[in-house]
Amino acid sequence: MRRFYQLLQIALIAIPLLAMRQDKPLRVIFFGDSITQAGVSPTGYITKMTEMLKAAGQDSQFELAGAGIGGNKVYDLYLRLEDDVLSKKPDVVFIYVGINDVWHKTSSGTGTDPDKYVKFYEALIKKMKAQNIRIIVCTPTVIGEKNDNSNAQDGDLNEYSKLIRDIAKRNNLELCDLRKYFGDYLVKNNPENKDKGILTSDRVHLTDEGNKFLAERMMEALVKVK
């Protein structure tokens, strides 16, 4: 954690960020589902990112906003892209969606086929690119924290993560590979192979530890520490 703040300090000061080259703060929107909706709560990951920026004396340079709605799938983002993102004229958008696309397959029979997932994802990207938005795509985190690929949706989450990595490459976008980060973390920090209680409280939504971990990974992606 200390090392992270040192790196962050360096990154925020030394790197000539877009934010610093302009008069107004860099507007960053997090576009996603219930995890992002909770991200703006007092203990949420977006709130924590704002706090990190304050601690580094950089909060005037950034304006972070959440655009998360519970239960959203990729095409829900598509349907509200104009209203909730484009109209806000953001400089940067994190796209963090996919958990419900997979989960709803068994929880309500209304998940998203992989090919449609990609089509709507790229439709989002096309419209954002047309507005010169810097796009950072995130792989989905977890549905269950077991670290040996034995959570029911692991196969699908791994597959959709590969689809997102391919989308990033194909569209020359930055990738914040949350699924990989969460996986690596859980291999080290979930010795009892529990289903929940480490980074999530209920297999999906984040604990304080989870929000902190997510905030750091998002921040690294934003300021390109890594």
Binding site for its own copies (CB under 8 A): 75-76, 79, 104-113, 116, 119-120, 123, 144, 148-159, 162
Spatial neighbors of 37 by CB under 8 A, at least 6 apart, are 66, 68, 69, 70
Q: How far is the CB of 148 from its own copies (least distance, A)?
A: 7
Q: How far is the CB of 162 from its own copies (least distance, A)?
A: 6
Write the DSSP assignment of 152-210 as a string of letters: TTHHHHHHHHHHHHHHHHHTT-EEE-HHHHHHHHHHHH-TT--SSSSSBSSSSSB-HHH
Amino acid symbol at 179: R
Q: How far is the CB of 101 from its own copies (least distance, A)?
A: 9
Of 70 and 155, which has the nearer Cβ to its own copies? 155
Of 7 and 152, which has the nearer Cβ to its own copies? 152
Q: How far is the CB of 108 from its own copies (least distance, A)?
A: 6
What 8-state DSSP symbol labels residue 20? G
CB-CB contact of 142 with 200 (8 Å): yes
Of 155 and 191, which has the nearer Cβ to its own copies? 155
Q: Give the Cα separation of 33 and 96 in Å (integer).
A: 8
Of 138 and 219, which has the nearer Cβ to its own copies? 138
